[in-house]
Amino acid sequence: MFRIKTLNKIALAGLVTLDDLGVDVGDEIAKPQGILVRSANMQDYKFNPELVAIARAGVGVNNIPIDRCTQAGICVFNTPGANAEAVKELCICAILMASRDVLGGIEWVRSIAGNEDVAKMVEKGKSAFTGPEISGKTLGVVGLGAVGAKIANTALELGMQVYGYDPYLSVDAAWQLSGQVKHALDLDTIFKNCDYITLHVPYLPDTHHMIDAAAFAKMRDGVRLINLARGELVDDEALIQALDTAKVARYVTDFPNVTVAGLPHVVPMPHLGASTPESEEKCAVMAARQLYDYLENGNIKNSVNLPAVSLDRMGVSRLCVIHQNVPRMITRFLDLIGAENINVEHMINKPRGEVAYTIIDTGSPLPEEIGRQILALDEVMGVRIL
């Protein structure tokens, strides 16, 4: 029986999925082989020797020490697309709130709620909260993954013109994207053409402060910026200047901090992107299934540190190896297997940057000694015999 530890409250549907598969799962599990996590900070987490996989029920993995996991032979999964519908809906809401000061209007009405002339006051004061319609305006979507593609398509249905920018657009994502979305070859095209800009990219070293003073200078006056991705994508000091000069008319963010939370013309939301019961269930079930398939079969889907590798079982034993992507590694594995007069039934190997993953199915049981010999190789980070 596999042991999976939860570090956050995981939606019941995910726990039931694992329970139905015969997995021992819970927050008190000792020596887990897998971990299910949402937002718990694992940067200083001490890995037990049995741990081989971590599944994040969500997309962002900034709370997980990815490099340390790779060196320890731990596969890290996330669940792209599982919360796409929830984030899409919130983004459409954010675009509307960026246009019309609905929030400010509501707060003002509440402030005068006790006045007997509230109805007359509303009619007289409502002009302070007007804003433009989004129909006919131009939206720039930066990042066209599962979320970005849904937002682009929905914006078209709402009558907007849409530019999309994503230098790493996958084939699967492209199939989901309407042909009416205009292809932006660079960010400058987005900046100079769009009345609204929404960010849907991961936070990485090369996306840190991607929206800075230089970027704001290229944007249209009165642009409306939506950031439901990560707060660090936007340079706060440059944003303050852009708001003060009305270069940015409204900034809607799902990642408020002490610098921007109280600023005028900022709509701060408390990280609501994936906060729907449907999204939490889909993320939990997806993470649970990916984690179980890896523990049971060694298959990898939606890993953030290892290549996607999947192979139907064809032998008696299965050897799974995480190793450096260097020459002759597979030959060395096969030499050790052949020395035991064991036939190889099927195999697959795929790289991801400096790391590779190999699955080898054999026609007879593999002795544990082969696993120990392979793990002893300097270039190998993790070995399992299933």
Whether the Cβ atoms of residue 162 and residue 155 lie closer than 8 Å to each other = yes
Q: Do residues 134 and 159 share a domain?
A: yes
pTM of the model: 0.82
- Predicted confidence at residue 107, as pLDDT, reads 92
Q: What are the structure tokens assigned to 114, written together?
A: 């006790």
Q: Mean of the per-residue pLDDT values for the chain?
A: 95
Q: Do residues 34 and 158 share a domain?
A: no
CA 96 to CA 112: how far, in whole Å? 24
Q: Do residues 154 and 122 share a domain?
A: yes
Q: Do residues 214 and 357 share a domain?
A: no
- The CATH number of whichever domain residue 367 belongs to comes to 3.30.70.260
Q: Do residues 341 and 369 share a domain?
A: yes
Q: What is the pLDDT of residues 173-214, one digit of tens each?
A: 788 899 999 999 999 999 999 999 999 998 888 999 999 999
Whether the Cβ atoms of residue 383 and residue 353 lie closer than 8 Å to each other = no
Question: What pLDDT band is residue 46 in, cutting at 50, 70 and 90?
Answer: very high
Q: Does residue 168 carry a pLDDT above 90?
A: no
Q: What is the pLDDT of residues 250-307, one digit of tens each?
A: 999 999 999 999 999 999 999 998 889 999 999 999 999 999 999 999 999 999 999 9
Q: Do residues 151 and 198 share a domain?
A: yes
State the total domains in the chain. 3
Q: Do residues 75 and 157 share a domain?
A: no
CA 54 to CA 37: how far, in whole Å? 7
The mean-pLDDT minimum among 121-130, 188-197, 285-294, 348-357 falls in 121-130
- The CATH number of whichever domain residue 39 belongs to comes to 3.40.50.720
Whether the Cβ atoms of residue 7 and residue 32 lie closer than 8 Å to each other = no
Percent of the chain with pLDDT over 70: 100
Q: Which of 268, 284, 317 is the last residue of a domain?
A: 268
Q: Does residue 17 carry a pLDDT above 90?
A: yes
Domain with 126, as residue range(s), is 84-268
- Predicted confidence at residue 43, as pLDDT, reads 96
Q: What is the pLDDT of residues 221-234, one digit of tens each?
A: 999 999 999 999 99
Q: Do residues 125 and 261 share a domain?
A: yes
Q: Which of 285, 306, 327 is the last residue of a domain?
A: 306
Q: Do residues 221 and 283 share a domain?
A: no
